[in-house]
Structure 1
Amino acid sequence: MSEKTEVNLTGVKQSQGVWLVKVPKYLSQQWDKATGEVGKISINKKQGKTEVHFSLNAELSAPAAAEEKEGLPQVPRDHPFTMHSVGGQTLAVFSQSNTDGISLEGMVVHRAECRPVVNDNYMKLKKLQIKESTKPQRLSQQLERAVTTVFKPVANHDFNLEYEKKKKSEGKMVRAERQVVLDMLFSAFEKHQYYNIKDLVDITKQPVTYLKEIMREIGTYNSKGAHKSTWELKPEYRHYQSAEEEEERKSS
């Protein structure tokens, strides 16, 4: 936005209040496919407490014909909201038109997190997402003819130097495949609810930076209270089973 761009402040004059809601990635992807209504939100009062619930449109929840053929699970429909306070922050929502006009839509009055109901169908979808994230980005390819381009030999390639540098900085610990680390973490959290990062490093034998990166995705860090400085799994990951455990469950 340039210095000369004017901002339409109609939203302030009309005292428009907006909600800032965090939604799962798969839900936003389904919304992008929609050509009409994406779902319905219900707001109810229960014992003096506000309960908000989002229900995804049935057409967006059902997998497409090609996806169904591949055995992809149905997208969860029911999503209760977890409400949070704004916390004394001043947050606003802006929009930008096709002509680059900036408008203030309103001030954030509520923050919330849209979470799915954890069931077997959701866990299948989550396991598929984790599996997709562990697929290698580079694949080998067989060439039909010999490469005739002249390459100049080098004493050591950049990726080897980078690996050696990382190995020295992180000691003897070498990153394992993401799925392997996830299985070790889920297995550990089945025994105890809380772990500090040092214990998780001892269990997985993984570098601290790599471990924290994974834990930020699947866990919550407790910065205060009785379990200060520990990690625990997010609610949607507490019923996760590795592929081996699921096979054992089916066979029994």
Structure 2
Amino acid sequence: MSNVKQEIKQEDNGDKVDEPELMSDPEDYLEKGESLDMDLTNGNQKIWLVKLPKYLATKWQNPNLMGKQLGRVKIRNTTANGHKKLEVKLVVDDSTANDEIPQEYDISILNTQVRNSYVFSEENLQRFKAENTELSSDRPIEKTPEVEEDYRQRRYNRFGNGQNQNQNPDAVPFVKTIPKKTALCGKICHDCQIRPSITDKRAKDYAARKHTIQKEKVRPKVVLLDEIPGVSQSNAGPSFKGRGTNVFLKPNTNKNKNEGRAIRMPQKDLLDLLFRLFEEYEYWSIKGLRERTKQPESYLKESLDSIANLIKKGPYTSKYNLKPEYKKLRDAERAAKAGLDINHNDNNDQEEEEEDDDMEDVL
């Protein structure tokens, strides 16, 4: 059995590649006391998620500020109109502040009930921390042609398509991720936003300075074709048989605004017309009256309410007929006209009889 093991070792040494390979099991990277399990120690800690102005976030990203106090958050309970209000301010520390940006900021709490939002952190394992330290402590390697050629050759051996004949030339090289220690920092409880305080003098100076910079920026100017010497608008576009750009212009026909609209007539004339229509027919619909009178419907209904009733029941529903008092007047006028006609006919008959009496028959 010992001979077999020795042979296996010899074969492994013979097939060994010069390039170091990543371990298949992430547990092999761990040192004593390390674990890849997520650290949930600070899982119940409450965290505020704050959106910073761009200039403040850029300043705080300076590596020289790592581990230093950036500022202080002041929280005060106030009462306004009988309601309690939480006033939160951020004061940037004097050591990190300067005259270019404001020092005092107002923190507005946008959401006090944030759900399912957490903050995580990642940290390299001790093994990779040591490698990073060694690389940073070494002096930089000079990029000579020999070094660059060796670097290209090593990359070709690891990721090149011609190294392994059994490998698919279109296959993407496999990259193994480096395991890290992950920890849960806490749960987000407030979603906030920071704005410069209006009481801070630096905020006013910064806003004025920013406005001046934006005002001084040169903006693109629109130049009309008429302002360019030698160029006319008529010759700017394509020309078809000398018509220039007129082929693209749609003729603008001025439409009469009053076309299709009903013009109101005097109410006296409208009432006379309605009385004549009710002499023709006893019942009228609003549609029929609108077609005959050519008047707006609202104006027509307003005039009808004074002389006619709207029937709401029976076979003539939604139709108009004259009010009783106007019916009596109409009938009286009809009777009067009929009486004059009868009297006129009687007088004519009497005159004819008298003429007959005066005449004598001659045999």
Q: Same fold (TM over 0.5)?
A: no
- State the TM-score, normalizing by the size of structure 1: 0.42
| Bigger radius of gyration | 2
